[in-house]
Amino acid sequence: MSGSMEAQVLPDNEATPCCNAVTGELLGHSPLHTTEELKEAIAAGRQAQATWAALPVKERVRRMMPVREYMMANLDELAETVARDVGKTRIDALVSEIVPAMMALTYYCGKAKGFLKPRGMMPGNIFFANKWSKIHRVPFGVIGIISPWNYPFSIPFSEVVMGLLAGNAVVLKTASETQAVGLALKECLEAADLPKGLFSFINMPGRVAGDAFLESGVDKLFFTGSVPVGKILMAKAAETLTPVSLELGGNDAMLVCEDADLHRAVNGAVWAGLQNAGQSCGGVERIYVHAAVYEPFMKILKTKVEKLRVGYDRNHTTDVGAIATSRQLETVKRHVDDALAKGAVIYAQSKSPKDPMEGHFYPPTVLIEVTHDMLVMAEETFGPVLGVMKVASMDDAIILANDSDLGLTGSVWTKKGKKGAALARRIMAGAVTVNDHLMSHGLAETPWGGFKESGIGRSHGAIGFAEMTESQVVVRDVLPFVKKNLWWHPFSPRVYATIKGVAQALYAPTWKGRAKGLGKVLMGFPRMFMK
The CATH number of the domain holding residue 347 is: 3.40.309.10
| pLDDT tens digits, one per residue of 495-507 | 999 999 999 999 9
**Same domain? 388 vs 498:** no
Active site residue 247: yes
pLDDT at 7: 37
Residue 22 within a domain: no
Contacts of 429 (CB under 8 A, 6+ apart): 252, 253, 407, 408, 409, 410, 450, 451, 454
Q: What is the number of structural domains in the chain?
A: 3
pLDDT band for position 13 (cuts 50, 70, 90): low
| pLDDT tens digits, one per residue of 386-445 | 999 999 999 999 999 999 999 999 999 999 999 999 999 999 999 999 999 999 999 999
Residue 450 within a domain: no
Active site residue 281: yes
pLDDT at 226: 95
**Same domain? 219 vs 235:** yes
Look over the chain and give the mean of its residue pLDDT values, rounded to a whole number. 95
pLDDT at 356: 56
**Same domain? 87 vs 137:** yes
Residue 24 within a domain: no
**Same domain? 439 vs 383:** yes
Helix axes 66-73, 57-64, angle to 10 degrees: 10
**Same domain? 265 vs 402:** yes
Q: CA–CA separation, 74 vs 85, rounded Å?
A: 17
Give me the domain span that covers residue 50.
35-248+463-472
Q: How many residues does the chain have?
A: 531
Can you count the helices (H) and strands (E) in the chain? 19, 20
**Same domain? 356 vs 438:** yes
User: Helix, strand, or coil here: 256?
Assistant: strand
Residue 6 within a domain: no
Q: Which residue in the list 80, 97, 187, 247 is annotated as catalytic?
A: 247
Residue 216 has pLDDT above 60, yes or no: yes
**Same domain? 381 vs 488:** no
| pLDDT tens digits, one per residue of 511-524 | 999 999 999 999 99
| pLDDT tens digits, one per residue of 331-390 | 999 999 999 999 999 999 999 887 656 689 999 999 999 999 999 999 999 999 999 999
Q: Where are the alpha helices (DSSP H) in 65-129?
A: 66-73, 75-86, 90-93, 99-116
Residue 1 within a domain: no
- Burial category of 261 from C-beta neighbours within 10 Å (exposed 0-12, middle 13-18, buried 19 and up): middle
Residue 291 within a domain: yes
Contacts of 12 (CB under 8 A, 6+ apart): none
**Same domain? 393 vs 270:** yes
- Burial category of 430 from C-beta neighbours within 10 Å (exposed 0-12, middle 13-18, buried 19 and up): buried
Q: CA–CA separation, 324 vs 313, rounded Å?
A: 14
Question: Mean of the pLDDT values across residues 313-330?
Answer: 93
pLDDT at 6: 41
Cα atoms found within 13 Å of the Cα of residue 292, Cβ hemisphere only: 8
pLDDT band for position 9 (cuts 50, 70, 90): very low
Q: Which residue in the list 19, 109, 257, 281 is annotated as catalytic?
A: 281
Please provide the distance, in angstroms rounded to a whole number, between the alpha carbons at the two ends of the chain: 70
Give the end of a domain, one of 452, 472, 492.
472
**Same domain? 523 vs 379:** no
**Same domain? 275 vs 422:** yes
The residue among 357, 271, 263 whose CA lies nearest residue 319 is: 271
DSSP classification of residue 480: T
User: Cis omega before residue 490 (within 30°)?
Assistant: yes
Contacts of 376 (CB under 8 A, 6+ apart): 285, 335, 336, 338, 339, 344, 367, 370, 385, 387
Does the predicted TM-score (pTM) go above 0.75?
yes
Residue 454 within a domain: no
**Same domain? 273 vs 332:** yes
In percent, the amount of the chain with pLDDT more than 90 equals 94
CATH of the domain at 79: 3.40.605.10
**Same domain? 391 vs 524:** no
Q: CA–CA separation, 282 vs 230, rounded Å?
A: 17
* DSSP H/E element including 501: helix 493-507
Residue 170 within a domain: yes
